[in-house]
Amino acid sequence: MIHNGRFILATAFVNSHVIQENIVLGKLAFFLMIAVLVYWLIKTRSSEDTDNLEDNSDEESAASKSLEDMVRCAQCGVHLPRSESVTSQGEFYCCNEHRLEHQREDSSS
């Protein structure tokens, strides 16, 4: 009986020791998992946010550029960036030559 009792106590001690180690390891693993999960969530969220912001700004700037900065030559009808166009009396021209031609036609007719 005594022998059995000691044996049981010993195994109980060993078991509890092992369980405590497992709990500590489990806690460490758990916190590590949480830390990795939180880090991953923050990383993915922030990268998604920046990606979306970059995509939106790129699309908006590209769209606004194509809408605002492209003008049509009143003489030959070619589309060109506004900054490269010649502006005269509210009309856009691809070059000074077409501006003069267009104004000559207007004044002659």
47 CA to centre of own chain: 6
Q: Which of 85, 86, 91, 98 binds Zn ion (CB under 5 A)?
A: 98
CA angle 30, 34, 36 (to 5 degrees): 115
Place of tokens 């916190």: 31
- Rounded to a whole number of angstroms, the minimum distance from the CB of residue 80 to Zn ion is 8
- Rounded to a whole number of angstroms, the minimum distance from the CB of residue 75 to Zn ion is 4
Q: Which of 8, 23, 34, 76 binds Zn ion (CB under 5 A)?
A: 76
Q: Determine how many CB atoms are found less than 10 A away from the CB of residue 95.
A: 16
Asked if 94 is part of the footprint of Zn ion (rule: CB under 5 A), the reply reads yes
Nearer to Zn ion, 54 or 97 (CB): 97
Burial class from Cβ neighbours inside 10 Å (0-12, 13-18, 19+) for residue 14 reads exposed
Region from 2-10, 20-28, 33-41, 86-94 binding Zn ion, contact rule CB under 5 A: 86-94
Contact positions vs Zn ion (CB under 5 A): 73, 75-76, 94, 98
